[in-house]
Amino acid sequence: MLVLLIMPAMQPEAYAGDREGNKGKRYWAWIVDMEGATRQGYLHEVSDTMLWLCPIFYNVDNCDSLKAFGASRIRTIKIRRRGAGGRGFGYGVLTGATFGALIGAGRSSESDWNVFSGSERALIGALVYAIPGGLFGVLIGSLKRKFNIDGGPEVLRMRRAGLQNFARIKHE
């Protein structure tokens, strides 16, 4: 059950949206250029040879200050969905609480827990397991997806399909 709840956090490209673009979903990108400088912004568009970022939180319909990056300037691209850590925390708390409640309720009354009723043991288990579940969810949700380009236009062309899953505007 834990695996089913955290799969969206582990494989965000599978849940990134349809071909028309990610309506309401924002993916923050970090681009490290060949000199080692880092640029960041929301991933707006990807083509065979270029990548465009919007450096500020923008309106769904437009961005007035797009920054273009040619493939020859890009060393790596890291992408993370905005708010993914919070969503991961929520999934983790729910999963941990469910798991803890099942473990707590399943404890036999012959153990040291015999001063508590079955529902009290379930509540204690849920509270105890919710905390590490939430922390684990934050860790999983905060992971960044990394694409190595190393200044090669052919590499960007090969990785284009994966990157377009995170872009605001998609191309065929």
Name the nearest CA neighbour of 136 among 171, 164, 94: 94
Chain position carrying tokens 């009723």 = 117
- Residue 156 inside a domain? The answer is yes
Is residue 85's pLDDT more than 80? yes
Residue 139's contacts (CB-CB under 8 Å, 6 or more residues apart) are 88
Q: Give the model's pLDDT for residue 112.
A: 62
Over range 138-148, report the average pLDDT.
Answer: 88
- Residue 6 inside a domain? The answer is no
Nearest 10 degrees: CA dihedral of 58, 23, 95, 6? Answer: -100
Read off the CATH number of the domain in which 159 is found.
Answer: 2.30.30
| 57 confidence band (pLDDT: 50, 70, 90) | low
122 in the same domain as 69:
no
Domain with 20 in it: 12-82+144-164
Residue 151 in contact with residue 106, Cβ under 8 Å? no
If one counts the domains in the chain, the total is 2
160 in the same domain as 130:
no
Q: Give the model's pLDDT for residue 11.
A: 46
